[in-house]
Amino acid sequence: MSAGNWVRLLVLAVLWGGSFLFVEIALTELPPLSVVWARVALAAMILGTVVAVTGQGLPRRHRDWAALAVMGLLNNVIPFSLFALAQGQITGGLAAILNATTPLFALVVAHLATADERITRAKTIGLTVGLGGVVVMTGGGSGAPGAMAMCLAAALSYALAGVWGRRFRRLGLAPLTSAFGQVACASLILLPLWLWQDRPWTLPIPSGPVLAAVLGIAALSTALAYLLYFRLLAEAGAVNLLLVTFLIPLSATALGALILGERLHLAEVAGFGLIALALSVIDGRLWRGVRT
């Protein structure tokens, strides 16, 4: 990758790692669904403005919007909500580590749902090591197995979204249009549930730090992150983009420690080590370099 793409990759890791910090701050005064709806609705407004300014236009076919609605459900509504609910019980750093299992779930989902992405021997080893990391973390550490299960379910939803998203190349939608469409659909899907569950008109006005956290997660960790993500995908490719999976837990843990004074338990550190090892086996580049 070029030096510029390495910088973009590091910035993307910080932005996505920062989402766990922003959520943790926002949850101090807002219910989880309020945080999630504000995240996707504000991101839709920002990305919609970019779409209008660049003149890329909106999807015109019903099947495009149907595909974007499913993507919004799998890639935004379900995982964002589950992580927000889980972070009421566990730290953002631990949630980010569990989020790193997404490529492990993606291997299984792609193997079952596609004909061209099969599980190889190396990937089987990686899956086994990664599963060991999850077992280590759930066997000790935070003491919140329900919250960790929600994070794993969110990672599975991201994996399903990854396979579902393969169809957008065939549909001919521009990446920016797809990003806007999915967060717009996610905000519409969440809207009635948010109004019914949180009754936002009864909530007190959040403080300045909480409002800043909500704006940060929408503008930085969602809208800007998607713009960087699709540029990296086009210039560096999906394989190089996988490297961000290694970096998100590190940035989330560092931000949580610096700003909120959080610390990980030994079991969580050990689990992350096994998951990182699993991802390196699946990615393969490090081991090819060792052999040569």
| pLDDT tens, residue by residue, 227-245 | 888 777 767 666 566 677 7
Query: What pTM does this model have?
Result: 0.87
Query: Average pLDDT of the chain?
Result: 85
Provide the pLDDT for residue 256: 87
Provide the pLDDT for residue 231: 77
Reported confidence tier of residue 282, pLDDT bands at 50, 70, 90 = low
Mean pLDDT for 132-156 is 81
How confident is the model over 77-134, as pLDDT tens digits?
Answer: 999 999 999 999 988 888 988 888 888 888 888 778 776 667 777 777 777 887 787 7
Provide the pLDDT for residue 143: 61
Q: What does 195-263 look like in DSSP terms, one character per residue?
A: HHHH-GGGSPPPPHHHHHHHHHHHIIIIIIHHHHHHHHHHHTHHHHHTTHHHHHHHHHHHHHHHHH---
Provide the pLDDT for residue 141: 55
- Picking from 7-11, 94-98, 109-113, 263-267, which range would have the lowest pLDDT averaged per residue? 263-267
Reported confidence tier of residue 187, pLDDT bands at 50, 70, 90 = very high
Provide the pLDDT for residue 120: 74
Percentage of the residues of the chain whose pLDDT score is greater than 70:
89
Higher-confidence residue: 110 or 214?
A: 214
Contacts of 26 (CB under 8 A, 6+ apart): 35, 206, 210, 213, 214, 217
Provide the pLDDT for residue 8: 86
- The answer to whether 81 and 33 have CB atoms below 8 angstroms apart is yes
Distance in angstroms (rounded) separating the CA atoms of residues 133 and 108: 17
